[in-house]
Chains A and B, each alone.
Chain A
């Protein structure tokens, strides 16, 4: 048959078109569905709890993925800014995936455990109250809406995380006890943004914060455990800028841009501990402070080594010493 006859036969043409589009589809999309490299599992990465599933669904409903990515690329500055690059097994339980395509806001793949819950309770309803130049929408209504858990069980069943009915009920009530209890570390800020009628309930914001604290946390914790306590900079024992006034002034600027939002004006304290004191939570020697700032601490102190570098960390510490003296007055 003359090949040009295909232009006279619409059905044959349509079949040919399907065949032609199928080749690339088969090779790049269909076959990979069944390859081990696209579906790795790791015992280090745990499925979402029922409440984290609900939080994730709020993230999806509000379209957070339109401005935030969740994949750190293996590039030097990206790892420095966000943390370790993303691994395929980290997305094993993600249906749908939420890697995103645009960073109007920062990547969130390493947000879990980076800040305390309180940070999110203040930031999410009113980002501009913490960062005046931010253009993130204020999501105050999430704290004013009770979480609808009527489909939680079904959701978890569909996702196949293997929790039975009793386990889901247990997870939901345990979470409620935690966030509504007086011992909850972020209780004060939570009650500031949550209307009185909902303070004893689980709100949509509670679930969202629980989800954000889960993103990337498993791998971080595993790596932290493997690395042992942060003693990496033990060699860096003494501050080269000790007592240097110019360095302290520079340190003040760095403090304003990076530390103030959590540790408060002049280190008076906030989500993070008070710094204008000689009693520091993780030790007050040069080496202790350097280790804390550079490596971060569990419970919401991020690591600043890659972001600021040693030099600027020492300048901040120089400034903290000034605050210590002023705070002591």
Chain B
């Protein structure tokens, strides 16, 4: 067996799973966006906004992003260790169990079985399945690393290890709950502590799922697809350790001005500002990697995905800490602004990097060039425009909403009722729905292009 391609079938299995759950998650997202404008679309209990929103967030986080992370991780592991995947049978089992779990997760959330804690809504039996899946993944990651034939572990592997341990710690501790029956449980924590643990998890799920492994992909696939080495090893060391250290302090910026003790809020805010530095360490490292070779933006179709992806990461990691500032959070929190913020990260950074990595891997594994660079370019422009229209619209909506909530008359009474604020949102929600369609069109092009690249070769006769 040749080094480093034992896992190809598994990589493609997770890639195709990711695409499937991406399409499902986005269709649910479109339905939700339409419900904001046409509440009559909530015509069945399982289609009501409150249940469906959870299917959208979980479907895309766990179904799409985590499957994409599994696919890219197995691929990078084999390449960067020059060793075959340690336990391929275990990985195959993981692939099947993963898809069954996500399907059950979606069905249970449609049925209203949820714990209410954001991104940790799955009820306890599925929590156990998630932990089992994660242990299976960790065994393969650590096993392959131990048997590696490359002395040094490359940066991407550091981020991968950080992802494995952080997800394990935050997921287990936030999901401690006491079962009532098979489909219902109560959190082990109460009130203020439950909120604190939840947002410590909530923020670090973002860190360990939407940041560490995506940076791992960025540090691996950008040099591989451009042929340019990463600018600075030393910068990546500093950025890595300070990022991993700083992340775990910041959850409380989701709870500014709540009954959470004020010192925890302030510590969370301070570390959020601190995090700008390591985040931009990776951004700068990416930009300098291309310095002198910016023509790659034109000559290599994947480069722009990575450059725009890391740019959105850079904007995201400035916007996030900034909106945690007390003056700004008092204005923006609970408005559409935050929804815009999240979607820049997920639609811009995460999806751009994962889709470019998938093009690269699929073409390599299929042993051919991407089916169509033209379609890949079309995919890029559609998701870029869709995302920008989506996020900028919601930022403006958030500014309008925040202003209306805060507007007072000269005598100190409120200028607008809450309903006035809702009514003002409709034009923005309509544009957001349109932007969602644009984005979805881009993803449909992506799915087609990737499937055509991956399709089996006709047998030579």
Q: Which residues of chain A have C-beta atoms less than 8 A from B260's C-beta?
A: 38, 88
Q: Which residues from A are CB-within-8-Å of B456? A: none
The reply on A95 being an interface residue by CB < 8 A is yes
Does residue B459 face the partner (Cβ distance < 8 Å to A)?
no
Given the contacts A8-B151, A10-B153, A37-B261, A17 and B51 also touching, CB distance less than 8 Å: no
Q: In the complex, identify which listed stretch (B16-24, B61-69, B125-133, B162-170) lies at the interface while the others stay far away.
A: B162-170
A95-B186 in contact given A23-B248, A62-B112, A158-B180 (Cβ < 8 Å): yes
CA distance A37 to B414 in the complex (A): 33
**Cβ A99 vs Cβ B267 within 8 A:** no
**B427 contacts the other chain (Cβ, under 8 Å)?**
no
> Bound state CA distance, A91 and B419, in angstroms?
27
Are the CB atoms of A21 and B195 closer together than 8 Å?
no
A64 vs B51: C-alpha distance when bound (angstroms):
9
Query: Are B259 and A88 in touch, CB under 8 angstroms?
Result: yes
B249 touches A311 (CB 8 A): no
Contacts of B173 in A (CB 8 A): 29
Q: Which of the residues A13, A104, A151 comes within 8 Å of B161, measured between beta carbons?
A: A13
| Docked complex Cα distance between A13 and B161 (Å) | 8
A24-B249, A134-B39 as given contacts; A61 in contact with B259, CB under 8 Å: no
Q: Is A222 an interface residue (CB 8 A)?
A: no
Assembled-state Cα–Cα distance A305/B413 (Å): 7
**B192 x A60 contact (CB < 8 A):** no
Contact at A97–B152, with CB atoms within 8 Å? no
Contact of A137 among B50, B54, B151, B161 (CB under 8 A): B50
* Residues 370-424 of B at the A interface (beta carbon under 8 Å): 405-409, 411-414, 417-419, 422-423
State A23–B200 Cα separation when bound (angstroms). Answer: 13
How many inter-chain residue pairs (CB < 8 Å) link A and B? 268
Known contacts A60-B116, A101-B334; A91/B192 CB under 8 A: yes
List A contacts of B189 (CB < 8 A): 33, 95-96
Question: When the two chains form their complex, are residues A159 and B247 in contact, meaning their CB atoms are under 8 A apart?
Answer: no
User: How many Å lie between the Cα of A69 and that of B413 in the bound state?
Assistant: 22
- Is the C-beta of B194 less than 8 angstroms from some C-beta in chain A? yes
Q: Which residues from B are CB-within-8-Å of A131?
A: 419
Q: Which of A105-135 contact B (CB under 8 A)?
A: 105-106, 127-128, 131, 133-135
Please name all residues of chain B whose beta carbon is closer than 8 Å to the beta carbon of A103 when the two chains form the complex: 334-335
**Interface-side segment among B213-221, B250-258, B279-287:** B250-258
- Asked whether, in the complex, the Cβ of A151 is within 8 Å of the Cβ of B181, the reply is yes
Query: Which of B190, B339, B414 contacts A91, CB < 8 Å?
Result: B190
| Chain A residues whose C-beta falls within 8 Å of the C-beta of B408 in the assembled complex | 76-77, 80
Judged by a CB distance under 8 angstroms, whether A325 is at the interface is no
- The CA-CA distance from A21 to B168 in the complex, in Å, is 11
CA A310 – CA B335 in complex, angstroms? 29
**Is A252 in contact with chain B by the CB < 8 A criterion?**
no
A-contacting residues, B77-104, CB 8 Å: none
**For A277, what are the chain B residues with a Cβ–Cβ distance below 8 Å?**
none
In the complex, which residues of chain A have a beta carbon less than 8 angstroms from the beta carbon of B48?
62-63, 137, 139
Q: A94-B194, A96-B194 are in contact. Are A80 and B413 (CB under 8 A)?
A: yes
Q: Is A298 an interface residue (CB 8 A)?
A: no
Evaluate contact between B39 and A136: CB separation under 8 angstroms.
yes
Q: Give the complex CA separation of A21 and B54 in angstroms.
A: 28
B114: interface (CB < 8 Å): yes
Q: B184 in the interface, Cβ–Cβ < 8 Å?
A: yes
**By the criterion CB–CB under 8 Å, are A25 and B412 in contact?**
no
Say if the beta carbon of A74 comes within 8 Å of chain B: yes
Q: Which of A24, A63, A138, A312 contacts B39 (CB 8 A)?
A: A138
Contact A97 B51 (CB under 8 A): no
The list of the 8 closest CB pairs from A to B, nearest first, reads A309-B413, A63-B50, A91-B191, A24-B248, A137-B42, A24-B249, A73-B257, A10-B145
A residues adjacent to B (C-beta < 8 A): 7-8, 10-11, 13-14, 17-18, 20-25, 27-29, 32-33, 35, 37-39, 57, 60-67, 69, 71, 73-78, 80-81, 86-88, 90-106, 127-128, 131, 133-139, 141, 151, 154-155, 158-159, 257-258, 305-312
> Could you name 27 residue pairs across A and B whose Cβ atoms are closer than 8 Å?
A8-B151, A10-B148, A11-B142, A17-B162, A20-B241, A21-B162, A21-B204, A32-B264, A61-B114, A77-B414, A78-B405, A88-B260, A91-B192, A92-B191, A96-B117, A97-B194, A98-B116, A99-B258, A104-B422, A106-B418, A133-B419, A135-B35, A139-B48, A154-B180, A158-B178, A159-B186, A307-B413
Name B residues whose Cβ lies closer than 8 Å to a Cβ of A: 35-37, 39, 42, 45, 48-51, 53-54, 112-118, 142, 145-146, 148, 151-153, 157-158, 161-162, 164-166, 169, 173, 178, 180-181, 184, 186-198, 200, 204, 241, 244-252, 254-255, 257-261, 264, 267-268, 271, 330, 334-335, 338-339, 405-409, 411-414, 417-419, 422-423
